[in-house]
Amino acid sequence: MGRNLEATIETFPIAGTFTISRGSKTEAEVIVCTITDGAHSGRGECVPYKRYGESLEGVLADIQAIARKIEDCLSREDLQRAMKPGAARNAVDCALWDLEAKRSGLSVSESIGVTGARPLATAFTLSLGEPETMAAEATKNAHRPLLKVKLGTDNDEARLRAIRHAAPNAKLIVDANEGWTEENLAHHMAIAAELGVSLIEQPLPAGRDHALAGIARPPVSICADESVHATKDLAALRDRYDAVNIKLDKTGGLTEALAMKAEAKRLGFQIMVGCMVGSSLAMAPAVLLAHDADYVDLDGPLLLARDRVPALRYEGSLIYPPEAALWG
């Protein structure tokens, strides 16, 4: 039986404004790919990211360009060679996983060997702002076990001290989003170590992170995000990073993400499973990927003013495995 592929742009308002070192936004713009075979449908969601040269229009065009091959029953394995890693392939790959599960009656969780799936504690992200603003947000969320703090300015010490004072018991991740420099790196890392930060994500720009190979490591792990996209990137990062952030929109879907996770573990990296700001449909496959990760950062829907229906179940910072009606 033949298949049909459709791709649509959807918009979800963000609760307030989401700010990182590269800018702010008030809505999440996503693309949903739906593949049907006449009896069953599978869906996947992606978030095009300007930092990686992606746009809504370009990603939509990439998905539409592969439609004929998908309709001619291109396999998920062949898809990895037919499309490059990135948001477009992610939407198609995850739609194929979902379709396979709906057709076979075997959940994705069972297919990838995730037995006894349980709720996971996700990080909750604090947007970049002035120290007092970030401290106020930290106070409101101090009950959460893990806070991810968006930094990346010339002087983040005041912000970090204010947040730690406001949330003295929370585990902290700092995400500099490539915003620090070789000149202020040692200072910021020392402050992070003093304040008990567990992980620093992408302190230096990708391609200019060679300085990480030569610094004295404080008791804070350093995680690659913008510097790592797919399995092929891992080996070159071993002298610079302790952890890698695996995002489906970077790997180009769950298929590559599973391979990347296995290789990262083999090489001794800690694993973070992260996300862009998207709906529950984008998070669902990542929840299964994250079942044994060291760090889970899948709070995208918690940052939205409204999510899709049906949605993932969140209880505080706990995120539950997806129901079949949503994905997988």
Give me the active site residues, please.
150, 247
The upper half-sphere exposure of residue 1, i.e. CA atoms within 13 Å in the direction of its Cβ, equals 9
What tokens does 1 get? 């039986």
Taking residue 316's Cβ as centre, other Cβ atoms within 10 Å add up to: 14
Sign of CA dihedral 320, 322, 324, 325: positive
Q: Cα 148 to chain center, whole Å?
A: 12
> Which residues in the chain belong to E strands, given as ranges?
4-20, 23-36, 41-46, 120-121, 124-126, 146-150, 171-175, 199-201, 221-224, 243-246, 270-273, 295-296, 314-315, 318-319
E strands, 127-276, in order: 146-150, 171-175, 199-201, 221-224, 243-246, 270-273
- Torsions phi, psi for 223 (to 5 deg): -115, 135
Task: Look up residue 277 and give its two tokens.
Answer: 């700001």
Residue 154: other Cβ atoms inside 10 A: 10
Non-local CB neighbours of 20 within 8 Å, separated by 6+ positions: 127, 128, 150, 152, 175, 177
